[in-house]
Amino acid sequence: MAFDFSPLFPAGTPAPAVRWTGAPKYNFTGGNNDPDAVPLQGLMQAAQTVLEREGRTLATYGLKSGPQGYKPLRDFLATKLKRDAGMTCAADDILIVSGSLQALDLVNAALLTRGDTVIVEQDNYQGTLTRLQKLGVNAVGIPLDQSGMRVDVLEAALAQLKARGIKPKYIYTIPTVQNPTGTIMGEARRIKLCELADQYGVPIFEDDCYADLVWSGDRPRAIHAISKSDNVIHIGSFSKSIAPALRVGFIAAPWGVMSRMLALKTDAGSGSLEQMVLAEYCAPHFADHVPALRTSLRKKLETLMETLNEQFGTAAEFDDPKGGIFLWVKLPDNVDTLKLYQSALAAGVAINPGPEWSTDKAHSISRMRLCFASPSHDEIREGIAILAEVCRKEFGVPERSANIERMDEHGER
Amino acid sequence: MAFDFSPLFPAGTPAPAVRWTGAPKYNFTGGNNDPDAVPLQGLMQAAQTVLEREGRTLATYGLKSGPQGYKPLRDFLATKLKRDAGMTCAADDILIVSGSLQALDLVNAALLTRGDTVIVEQDNYQGTLTRLQKLGVNAVGIPLDQSGMRVDVLEAALAQLKARGIKPKYIYTIPTVQNPTGTIMGEARRIKLCELADQYGVPIFEDDCYADLVWSGDRPRAIHAISKSDNVIHIGSFSKSIAPALRVGFIAAPWGVMSRMLALKTDAGSGSLEQMVLAEYCAPHFADHVPALRTSLRKKLETLMETLNEQFGTAAEFDDPKGGIFLWVKLPDNVDTLKLYQSALAAGVAINPGPEWSTDKAHSISRMRLCFASPSHDEIREGIAILAEVCRKEFGVPERSANIERMDEHGER
């Protein structure tokens, strides 16, 4: 008779996972990237070179670099963060982690306990929101506009919390290509955010994992670079710039909090082969690779926006994002994207329903996030056409006439 | 002025890490491996082949394999576990993790809560003991003899706990090349352990991460293979058989508990390049590589035992271990290995003091663990000579005459 483990699970254990049965045919979810943009030849060459030169160090945990990660990769990051984001940090201020997800977990483990309050952008990365929920932490959402987090609302929220005797543990922001809105926080707001953080004694948690993907190639200075008080924990990743399956990200933070995260990081380091290959590849090639990647992503975004216009007409509203791999789409108010998600999935199309990506369920119920980096141009066109059909059947929008009219327009091109 | 993070840390946060200042010159700690035994050419070839064939899948989290890890690696493991350990498990029963440390964390997260009791071998892997301590879990230690965990004492402990109304959450064992004792639990004890587990309704947590390194190449059947009631969580690693810096391990477990661990695993998978390279390398080469590795490790062990005999004479007692990368050494009763550790480190020699590797501090205070895979033969000889000198200065043992006498013997060879 099979042993029953279930009486052993502690209270509050998450519900069991379901068996994975493969990816949906048209997948507009997940931070996946463009397979054609993976720099294969470069990675292969880097693997040969670095294994030949120092592969025997794989016999030692942490290589010859200690617990903060492969030193040449931290050196590359220090140089890159200075050049691209204006940040001043040395290799010793950087901790390599297994993707920015581990960064989120380490920052949270170092700072948060049940009942704490943090401030986040209202529309937000699902993984951030679910982590906070699991930890029993209250996430106060600040609305965004086309320039990112509204710091006037942030100021009011900080004042209100202070009046109630609540000091938030951090202000979490994705300032550069915000997830899911794709907005970029302007320099003036970044400065104001730093002033507010100083005034209220609250650190800033800057998640910059999409910052390499600004179409213009010209990103604003990181908040880490603007703050004068060493109160910013800055995290980033190679998932969006090279490949997500590599699971390599980083944290740049003051030693006072870094030393606590190191004590909590009991995994004996992140995968070293990936760190070595990334360092070897990126030092000479990153600056050339990323613009080419952005060009291919931008083309896919254009296909997506064009197809949405064709298939949904005015029923789909969105701003052209400043960069990234996702589009935040507003559908008519009567569309419940949690229901649309279910019906679309049954038709082979996966989307991210808005309520899973926001602290404000009413605001987000008719919104959805569409990721465009991974599907091919044809898959984008086909998948969005099916999505429109499913949405029309269930919610009456988009109207058929608009669709056909749009398709005719397309046919004329 | 620099921001002070310290008021933000929750109660019970571990003490901060100290800055890493490099490895000690003579390092007999850590599960590091023999650098000369890393199969570099094979790994380089595997990297080329697998990247060329399917490198573009790196653009997708989890490759094409879903959340349990790269399917060809799980296929290899299923075949290997059948062949070497007699286990019947399919690729779907296996979860790839970032080293067996993540396996420990996931099993603990799925099953344990503060105040729980578990049963462990008395002398044990430090990382297991510190994890349980951090979780506030009571670890009942069962003594070992030359055939591993004493199941007669286990039986008495289970009965006593039951009389006190306590049901342990699991029985944790490293049955094959136990850490730190290097013992192997015999088949009869394995069968008895399974019977006791069934009788008391307690699952078995089998940590088999050293099992590839049995000198004879002939390991006993895994407990997972012996149990008839699907109550064994079996974990393993490529750290000891290929290279520790790769951070790839696995869990084989029934779906009832695997599905809970999957729900707790929020890191979007382990490093895929490492999984791909390992699968590509191991399927054709693992069975040839491991015997060569064992030969090189056995030679280092012989150098270590010979040097201990030379330098410590009868002051160092140990059994010739059945395999592995460490030796568990008993020094005279007046030696406090926690103090020896400090003095030796100041002299450039790192050892593992016994009390950090045991639930019984009195039993282990004059014992130490010496890892021999990573230092060269010369480093072993030099480091142990320094250790003996430090020990003599601090504790009066080994006596100088014994040492000189032994060295003369060595000179005659």
Q: Tell if the CB–CB gap between A259 and B105 is shorter than 8 Å.
A: no
Does residue A223 sit within a domain?
Answer: yes
B144 and B194 share one domain? yes
Closest chain A residue to B231, measured at CA:
A3
| Residue B409 pLDDT | 46
Number of structural domains (chain A) is 2
Low-confidence spans in chain A with pLDDT less than 70: 1, 401-413
A264 and A394 fall within a common domain: no
Same domain, B89 and B216: yes
A203 contacts in B (CB within 8 Å)? 3, 5, 8
CA distances to A141, A234, A300 from A81, in Å: 28, 10, 27
CA of B43: which chain A residue's CA is closest? A51
Tokens of B13: 């946060």
Please indicate, yes or no, if residue B53 is contained in any of the structural domains: yes
CB-nearest to B14 from A60, A105, A263 is A263
Among A285, A304, A329, residue at a domain's last position: A285
Same domain, B255 and B395: no
Cβ–Cβ below 8 Å for A244 and B66: no
Residue in B closest to A243 by C-alpha? B59
Predicted confidence at residue B401, as pLDDT, reads 55
- A28 contacts in chain B (CB < 8 Å): none
Is A8 inside a domain boundary?
A: no
Inter-chain residue contact B245 with A59, CB threshold 8 Å: yes
- Same domain for B74 and B57: yes
pLDDT of residue A401: 55
Domain shared by B204 and B240, yes or no:
yes
Query: Which residues partner with A176 through β-bridges?
Result: A184
What number of CA atoms fall less than 13 Å from residue B352's CA on the CB side?
A: 25
Interface test with A, best of B45, B58, B171, B257 (most A CBs within 10 A): B58
Whether A44 and B55 lie within 8 Å, measured CB to CB: yes
Pair (B96, B56) in one structural domain: yes
Please answer yes or no on whether B271 and A273 come within 8 Å at the CB atom. yes
Domain assignment of residue A11, yes or no? no
- The interface predicted TM-score (ipTM) is 0.94
> pLDDT below 50 — which residues of chain B?
403, 405-413
**pLDDT (tens digit per residue) in A31-87:** 999 999 999 999 999 999 999 999 999 999 988 899 999 999 999 999 999 999 999
The reply to whether residue B110 touches residue A33, judged by beta carbons under 8 angstroms, is: no
Mutate one of B9, B61, B206 to test the A interface: name it (highest A CB count within 10 A).
Answer: B61
CB contact under 8 A, B31 and A203: no
Q: Which residues of A touch B14 (CB under 8 A)?
A: 260, 263-264
Three-state secondary structure string covering chain B:
CCCCCHHHCCCCCCCCCCCCCCCCCEECCCCCCCHHHCCHHHHHHHHHHHHHHHHHHHHCCCCCCCCCCCHHHHHHHHHHHHHHHCCCCCHHHEEEECHHHHHHHHHHHHHCCCCCEEEEECECCHHHHHHHHHCCCEEEEECEECCEECHHHHHHHHHHHHHCCCCCCCEEECCECCCCCCCECCHHHHHHHHHHHHHHCCCEEEECCCHHHECCCCCCCCHHHHCCCCCEEEEEECCCCCCHHHCCEEEECCHHHHHHHHHHCCCCCCCHHHHHHHHHHHHHHHHHHHHHHHHHHHHHHHHHHHHHHHHHHHHCECCCCCECCEEEEECCCCCCHHHHHHHHHHCCEECEEHHHHECCHHHHCCEEEEECCCCCHHHHHHHHHHHHHHHHHHHCCCCHHHHHHHHHHHHHC
Considering only CB atoms, B20 lies closest to which of A36, A68, A98, namely: A68
Separation between Cα atoms, residue A204 and residue A227, nearest integer Å: 9
What secondary structure letter does DSSP report for A228?
A: S
Say if residue A148 is in the same domain as residue A231. Answer: yes
- Nearest chain A residue to B69 by CA distance is A245
Chain B residues with beta carbon closer than 8 angstroms to that of A272: 245-247
B273 and B128 part of one domain: yes
Nearest CA in chain B to A231: B3
**H helix intervals, A55-150:** 71-85, 99-111, 126-134
Residues of A in contact with B273 (CB under 8 A): 43, 47, 245-246, 271, 273-274, 277
Q: What are B290-339's pLDDT values in tens digits?
A: 999 999 999 999 999 999 999 999 999 999 999 999 999 999 999 999 99
Q: What are the chain A neighbours of B111 within 8 Å (beta carbons)? A: 5, 8-10
Say whether B44 and A22 touch across the interface (CB within 8 A): no
Question: What confidence score (pLDDT) does residue A63 get?
Answer: 86
Say what the pTM is.
0.95
Distance separating the N- and C-terminal Cα atoms of chain B? 67
pLDDT at residue A241 in the model: 96
- H or E segment and range at residue A259: helix A255-264
Cβ within 8 Å, pair A229-B6: no
B387 to chain A, minimum CA–CA distance in Å?
22
The radius of gyration of chain B from alpha carbons, rounded to an integer in Å, stands at 22
Task: Collect all residues of chain B within an 8 Å Cβ-Cβ radius of residue A263.
Answer: 13-17
The CATH number for B328's domain is 3.90.1150.10
Q: Quick one: how far is CA B175 from the chain centroid? A: 11
CB contact under 8 A, B127 and A266: yes
Q: Is residue A351 part of a domain?
A: yes
Residue of chain B with shortest Cα separation from A104: B267
Instruction: For chains A and B, count residue pairs whose Cβ atoms are closer than 8 Å.
Output: 287
Structural domain including B292 reads: 23-37+288-412
> Cβ of A57 and B67 within 8 Å?
no
A157 and A60 co-located in one domain = yes
Domain end, chosen from B251, B285, B319, is at: B285
Q: Is A15 contained in some domain?
A: no
* Residues linked to residue A139 through DSSP beta bridges, in sequence order: A118
Note whether B230 and B357 are same-domain residues: no
Check residue A1 and give its pLDDT: 66
In chain B, which residue's Cα lies nearest the Cα of A111? Answer: B9
Chain B residue with minimum CA distance to A107? B9
Query: Are B144 and B253 in a shared domain?
Result: yes
Quick one: pLDDT at residue B217?
93
Question: Which of A222, A255, A285 finishes a domain?
Answer: A285
Closest CA to A242 of A76, A386, A126, A68: A76
List the CATH number of the domain containing A155: 3.40.640.10
By Cβ distance, the residue of B60, B127, B374 closest to A59 is B374
Structural domain includes residue B18:
no
Q: Kindly state whether residue B56 falls inside one of the protein's structural domains.
A: yes
